[in-house]
Amino acid sequence: MAAKEHEVLENYITQHNLKITKQRRAVLEAFLASEEHVSAEDLYKIVSVKEPKIGLATVYRTLSLLTESGLAAELDFGDGQKRYEHNYEHDHHDHMICTQCGKIIEFHNPLIEKLQEDVAREHGFEITTHKLDMFGICKDCR
């Protein structure tokens, strides 16, 4: 599957007359190996080990590339920092965020999604994407 994801990025890159570089490969590598919900700073630290000369700006630029190519999705939990999660052949899911320990539980509920579509239709609204975040206390922190 990692192979597939490399392909996705390389296809995107060649289709847009861009170039495959060792920095881009390193960021992709680190992103694929990372847990969900990494920040640019997180990735920068990880990549810096193998690629000490890399600049934070390059990480940001590569993350845009990953997002545009469909490999990554941006998250914003309202703490002033963007996170990124795997988005390739991953089903859509939403998040429960524990405000105590920071743990993030993912879930997917088709019925909720269906109701969203219903509400949207009632308003003549066509949903492109949506985001459902529930903040609270997880079972380990209660």
Partner DNA sequence: CTACCTGCAAATTATTTGCCTTAAC
Partner DNA sequence: GTTAAGGCAAATAATTTGCAGGTAG
Closest CB to DNA among residues 52, 124: 52
Q: Is residue 54 within 8 Å of residue 61, measured between CB atoms?
A: no
Q: Contact positions toward DNA, by CB under 7 A?
A: 13, 17-24, 39-41, 51, 53-58, 60-62, 64, 80-82
Instruction: Please choose which of DNA, a second copy, none residue 35 contacts, taking the beta carbon within 5 to 8 angstroms, the exact cut-off set by kind.
Output: none
User: Which residue, 60 or 88, has its beta carbon nearer to DNA?
Assistant: 60
Minimum CB separation of residue 98 from a second copy in Å reads 8
| Chain residues in the site for a second copy (CB under 8 A) | 74, 76, 78, 96, 98-99, 105, 107, 109, 111-112, 115-116, 119-120, 123-139, 142
Find which of a second copy, DNA, none residue 1 binds, CB within 5 to 8 Å per kind: none
Q: Are the beta carbons of 37 and 81 closer than 8 angstroms? A: no
- What are the CB-based long-range contacts (under 8 Å, 24+) for 84-91? 84/31, 84/37, 84/38, 84/39, 84/40, 84/43, 85/36, 85/37, 85/38, 86/31, 86/32, 86/36, 88/4, 88/5, 88/8, 89/1, 89/4
